[in-house]
Amino acid sequence: MNLKLSLPKGVDEQSVVFSLPFDIDRSAKRTDGHLTATKEKLSVYYNGELCEQFLLEDIMEIEVEQLIGCSMLCVKDALGKQKFVCAFSQKHFMRFAELAKIIEHYLKTGIFTETTDADEPACPKCGISLNGSKKCVYCEGDKGVFVKLIKRLAPYKKQFFFSLFATFMLYAFDVINPIFQRILVDDLIVPNNADWALFFKVAACILVMNLSSVGFRLLQENSNYKISTAYGRDLRRDIFNKTQDLSMSNVAKRTAGELINRVSGDAATLQDFMTRQGKDMIFQTVALVALVIIMFVTNWKLALIVVIPLPFAAYLSIKSFNAISIRYSRVWRCQCRASELLHDVLHGVRVVKNYGGEEREIEAYRKASGKWADAVKRADILWYMVQPPIRYVFTIGEFCALFFGGSMILGGQMQLGELIQFTTYVYMLYGPIQWLTSLPRVLAQAKVSAGKVFEVLEEQNDIRDNESAKDIEIEGDIDFQNVFFGYKAYNPVLKDISFSIKKGEMIGIVGHSGVGKSTLINLIMRLYDPTAGVIKIDGMDIKDISQNSLRSQVGVVLQETFLFSGTVLENIRYAKPDASFEEIITAAKIANCHSFITRMPDGYNTIVGERGYSISGGERQRIAIARAILHDPKILILDEATASLDTETEKQIQDALDRLIAGRTTIAIAHRLSTLANADRLIVLDKGKVAEIGTHTELLKNKGVYYNLVMAQRQTAKLKK
Amino acid sequence: MIKNTESVFEVDTLKILTDKDIALHKAESGFLNAEAFGETYERVSLTRLVPFMNEEKYISVTYKTEDNEWKEIGVIEDIRKLSEEKQKIVREYLSFKYYIPVITKINKITDNRMGYLFLEAETTAGPKKIAVNDWWHNFRMIQNKMLSVTDADGNRYCVPEVEQLDKASVKKLQLFI
C-alpha cells in the first residue's frame, strides 16, 4: 500500500517517511490537507501550511475512528487525553488505518517500519475500491476472463469441435437449399420443362441433405449436451470445493445467499454462455460473412440495397436495448421488493396478527405491487413502441429487394428462381445480425458472472498450513503467548492474551458480552489466525499442525446447534462417518438423547432439520453433544452450550456434558456463571485483555471483575425469586 | 426487596435536555465537552436518533465511561430550542460526524450492468463522479422520499427529497429507484 501518496507544497520527499492527503477540516468543509509522519512526529498541513505537530514520544495511543460519513485520526497522550489530528473521506480510510497500525507498532516495540506490504485499497487505474480483492472486477479486461473461460473448455474440445462442425454443416444445407429451389423454379417449373432426370437429381440431393441433416443434428445435440452438462458440473464442483477450502474469514466476506448464487446462478450463466452463445459467436459471425459474400456474388446491386440500412438498424437496436433493459431491470427490482415484503409479512405473520397490523401490511403490499405493475407498464409501452419501427428498418431491405428484384424480372434481367433464392438469403441474414446486436449484453452478463466466479476460484486462503505442517496426535496442552487479534487489523478485539491450559483441565472463560470470548475459541480452532503472537498446542505452533489434523481432534458444542436436513442417525454420524450403529446409540445414551429419540415416530430414522420433525432446543443440543461424544475430541469447546435452555433441560444437558468433559481439555464459555462451577480455573476477559485467572474461590477473594459479575448475577437471581 | 431492585436495575429513563440542563463547548483537543446535572463530561458524542426523519430533533448526548461503555447523558429534543451559541456548536459537530454531501443535481447515471452504477452529480461538496457498487443495497430510497447513496469507498451522499430536484434529474433517477 502506498503511504506516500502526495506531499504538501514545499516539503521535501526525503524529509518525511509517510505523507497522506486528507480532505475534510474540523468544520466539515472540504480542504486540501496533508498529514506527514517521520520517526519523531506527525505534522498536519492545511493548504500547504504547517498547522499542528504531534511528537510521537508524547503519544500513547493512536487510532482511526470511523464516523457516519467521514473518519478521523486521533491520538491519546500520557494523561489519557484524546486529541483530534485530522479528518478525511472514506476513500482515505484504509491508508490512514495502515499508518495508525505502523505508528502503534512503533509506540509498542520501538521498531519503525518504513514500508508496508498491505494490499492497495483502490484500483490504481480507475480508483474504485477493491474491497479486499486483488483484481478490479471493473478494470480487468474481457480478454483475461474470456481466455480463462475458454481454457476451461480444454477437456471437452473434441465435443466442441463436433458441435461446431455439425452446426456449420446444418447451416451449409440451409444455404444450399435455395440453390435447388432456384433450379426447380427456373429450369423446370417456369419453362414447363419435363426434364425428369434433372428433377430426380435435384430431389435426390434434397433427400440426401435432409437425411444427413438428421445425423448432423443428432451429433450437434449430443455434443452440446455433453459439453453443457460437463462444463456446468465441473464449474459448480470447483466453486463448491473452493468455498469448502476457504477459511472462515474468507467465507464470512460474503453472505450465504451470495455464495449460493455463485455456485448455481453464475455457473449456469457461464455454462449457457460457453456451450450455446460462445459457439454461436463463432458460427453467427462466419454465417454473416458467408451470407453477405454469397448475396454479393448472386446479385451485387440487390445485395447493396439490403445491406445499406443494416448498420443503421443495428445501431438503433443496440440503443433501444439500453433504454429498454434499464426499464426491465427496474421491473425486476420492483418485483424483488414486492417479494421481499411478501416474504417478510408471511414469515412474521404471528407478529402481524398479534399487533393487528393486517391493514398496514395490506396497504404496504398494495403499494409495492402497484409500483411493480407500473414498472411493467412503462417497460412494455416502450418495448411495443420501439420494436416495430426497428423491425421495419431491419426488414426494409427485404421490401426493396422484392421491389427492385420484381422490376428486374419484368425487365428480363433476372429470373424468378434467382429472386426466390436471393430473398431466402436476405431472410437468413437477419438472424445473425439480430444475434450480434445482443452480443454486448451477452458478453457483459458473462463477464459479470465470470468475474464473480473467478474471484472465488482464485481467492487466496487466509489460513494456510505451513510447509512443515504435519498431522499430530493431540494431548491437550494449550498455550497463548501474547496473542493479538482483530477481525479488522486496525481494530483489535483481543489484546496481548497469554495463558496456559494443561491437558485434561476444565477452563471456564467469562466476561461481558462482546469481550472476545467466542473469538478466543475461534483462534484455538484456527478459524482465524492471530494478528500477532503465537498459539501452541502441545508446545507446537498451531500453524505447524495441519488444519485437518487439528480440527478432527477439537470438538465443539455451540449455543445454536445446526442440524442438517436428514435423519437423526445421519446427524449424529456426521462427526464420524464410519461409526457403527452401536457406537451411535452409546453416544446418544451418554448424551441423554436416546430416550427421546426412541419416542420419535421413526426412531433414529426420523427426519430432522429445516423440513423435518420439529424438535426442541434441548433435544437439538443433546444431539449435538452425542455428535461431539462420537467425535471423541482431545480438546472440547463448549460455547454457551446451555445458555438458551430452561433450568430443567439445562440439568439434563449438564449431566451429559459432565460425561463428555471427563478426561478432556475443555474450554467452556457460559454467561450463567453457575454452569462453570466444575471448572478447574476461570479466565476472566475484560476490555479484550485477560483480567484475572484463578479458581472460583481465588477470584471471589480478589474482588475484581469476576467478583462483580458474580454479585450482579446473584442479585438478579434473588430478584427472580 | 425494593432496595435490591434499585441496586440491580437502575431503570433507564428518557432525560430530555433543555437549554438550561446542558452546557457545551469545543475543547482545544478538537472534541466536544459538556456539563450537565453538575457533572463535567469530556469528549461527548452527539447522535441523531432519527436521522432520516428529522436531522434537528432528538439528538442523543453520550459519553464514554472508564469501562469504554457509552452512556447517555440525555436527549436534546430540538436543536432550535437551544441558545444560538449551542445551536452553532451542535450543528457544526453533527455536520462533521454526519458528513453526507447533498446531491443537488444529477447530470448522468449509467448502469454498467456489472453491479456498478455511475453518477455524475453536483453535490454540496462540489461536482462528483460517484461509483456505487452493489447498488441494489447502496442506492436506495428511504420512506419513498429520501435517496441514500453509499459509494464504493463508503462515502455517503443523499437527496433529502427527490421530488424537490429539478425535473431532468428526477427523470434520470426514476429509472433506478
Which tens digits make up the pLDDT trace of A433-460? Answer: 777 777 776 777 777 778 778 877 877 7
**Helix, coil or strand: residue A458:** coil
pLDDT of residue B112: 65
Q: Are A174 and A216 in contact (CB under 8 A)?
A: no
Cβ neighbours, 10 Å, residue B40:
10
pLDDT of residue A431: 80
pLDDT band, residue A132 (cuts 50/70/90):
low
Say yes or no to pLDDT of A427 above 50: yes
Domains and CATH numbers, chain A: 13-109 (2.30.29.30), 137-285+444-462 (1.20.1560.10), 473-553+637-721 (3.40.50.300), 561-632 (3.40.50.300)
pLDDT of residue B3: 43
pLDDT band, residue B43 (cuts 50/70/90):
confident
Please state the rounded mean pLDDT for residues B98-108: 91
On whether any CB of chain A is under 8 Å from the CB of B106, the answer is no
Please state the rounded mean pLDDT for residues A268-282: 79
On whether any CB of chain A is under 8 Å from the CB of B21, the answer is no
Which of residues A719 and A613 earns the better pLDDT score?
A613
Q: Per the CB < 8 Å rule, is B155 touching A329?
A: no
CA distance linking residue A64 with residue A67, whole number of Å: 10
What are the φ and ψ backbone dihedral angles of A78, each rounded to 5 degrees? -60, -25
In tens, the pLDDT along A363-417 reads 999 999 999 999 999 888 988 888 888 878 877 888 888 899 899 889 888 888 8
Q: Per the CB < 8 Å rule, is A93 touching B153?
A: yes
pLDDT of residue A143: 60
On whether any CB of chain A is under 8 Å from the CB of B114, the answer is yes
pLDDT of residue A133: 61
Q: To the nearest whole number, what is the mean pLDDT of chain B?
A: 84
Q: To the nearest whole number, what is the mean pLDDT of chain A?
A: 83
Which of residues A435 and A584 earns the better pLDDT score?
A584
pLDDT of residue A645: 65
Q: What is the ipTM of this complex?
A: 0.84
3-state secondary structure B15-70: CEECCCCEEEEECCCCCEEEEECCEEECCCEEEECCCCCCCCEEEEEEEECCCCCE
Residues on chain A touching B151 (C-beta within 8 angstroms): 90
Which of residues A261 and A203 earns the better pLDDT score?
A203
Residues on chain B touching A719 (C-beta within 8 angstroms): 4-5, 8-9
pLDDT of residue B25: 87
Please state the rounded mean pLDDT for residues A167-171: 87
In tens, the pLDDT along B110-167 reads 876 556 788 899 998 888 888 887 777 788 888 778 899 998 888 899 999 998 999 9
Q: How would you label A667-694 residue by residue, b for 16+ Cβ within 10 Å and e otherwise?
A: bbbbbebebbeebebbbbbbebebbbbb
Q: Which of A96, A326, A515 is the best substitution to test chain B (most B C-beta atoms within 10 A)?
A: A326
Q: Per the CB < 8 Å rule, is B155 touching A327?
A: no
CA distance linking residue B97 with residue A27, whole number of Å: 10
Say yes or no to pLDDT of A39 above 60: yes
Distance (Å) from the alpha carbon of A77 to chain B's nearest alpha carbon: 11
pLDDT band, residue A362 (cuts 50/70/90):
very high
Work out whether strand A665-669 and strand A506-510 pair parallel, antiparallel, or are unpaired: parallel
Say yes or no to pLDDT of B35 above 80: yes
pLDDT band, residue B104 (cuts 50/70/90):
very high
Residues on chain B touching A720 (C-beta within 8 angstroms): none
CA distance linking residue A160 with residue A279, whole number of Å: 8
On whether any CB of chain A is under 8 Å from the CB of B92, the answer is yes
Say yes or no to pLDDT of B4 above 50: no
